[in-house]
């Protein structure tokens, strides 16, 4: 927001923002000292382009593979083992497609969101019945 408003993102400003965010996140029971202020500078997620998306796409692919293993059994197992054996022999999208995961389709994200929703439902159920 600050950059969009034409404000300069200085190290001092980022230090303060990071300090305030840590204080808000961890609350009053955690000591947030000045040493934490510069921590933002060592986190590559903030400055490496096209870096963080790999976590999400990998998680979605893994959820899809797991669902296939649970629902299809042996055919999914054979595809998965073939995927593992293939190493880096082709582009990841092609290897995943041969394993039964089409990352160009909405299916992996939909499967992951259903799993997340089911996990939230289970957590709510467990918290409601201690």
| pLDDT value of residue 25 | 96
pLDDT in tens, 79-90: 999 999 999 999
Residues 6 or more apart whose CB falls under 8 angstroms from that of 60 comprise 103, 108, 109, 111, 112
In this predicted structure, the answer to whether residue 106 has a pLDDT above a threshold of 90 is yes
| pLDDT value of residue 2 | 85
| pLDDT value of residue 53 | 86
| pLDDT value of residue 24 | 97
Q: How far is CA 21 from the centre of its chain?
A: 20
Packing angle of the helix pair 53-72, 107-128 (nearest 10 deg):
80
pLDDT band at 94 (very low <50, low <70, confident <90, very high): very high
Q: How far apart are CA 118 and CA 121, in angstroms?
A: 5
pLDDT in tens, 1-45: 888 999 999 999 999 999 999 999 999 999 999 999 999 999 988
| pLDDT value of residue 52 | 84
pLDDT in tens, 33-79: 999 999 999 998 888 887 788 899 999 999 999 999 999 999 999 99
Question: What are the residue ranges spanned by the domains of the chain?
Answer: 11-46, 53-128
CB 44 within 8 A of CB 51: yes
For the entire predicted model, the pTM comes to 0.69
């Amino acid at each position: 927001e600050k950059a969009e408003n034409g404000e300069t993102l200085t190290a001092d400003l980022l230090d303060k923002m990071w300090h305030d965010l840590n204080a808000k996140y961890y609350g009053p029971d955690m000591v947030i000292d000045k040493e934490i202020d510069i921590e933002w500078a060592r986190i590559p997620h903030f400055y490496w382009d096209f870096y963080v998306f790999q976590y999400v796409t990998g998680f979605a692919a893994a959820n899809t593979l797991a669902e296939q293993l649970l629902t299809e059994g042996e055919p999914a197992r054979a595809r998965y083992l073939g995927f593992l054996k293939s190493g880096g022999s082709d582009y990841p999208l092609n290897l995943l497609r041969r394993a039964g995961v089409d990352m160009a389709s909405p299916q992996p994200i939909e499967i992951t969101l259903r799993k997340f929703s089911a996990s939230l439902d289970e957590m709510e159920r467990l918290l409601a019945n201690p």
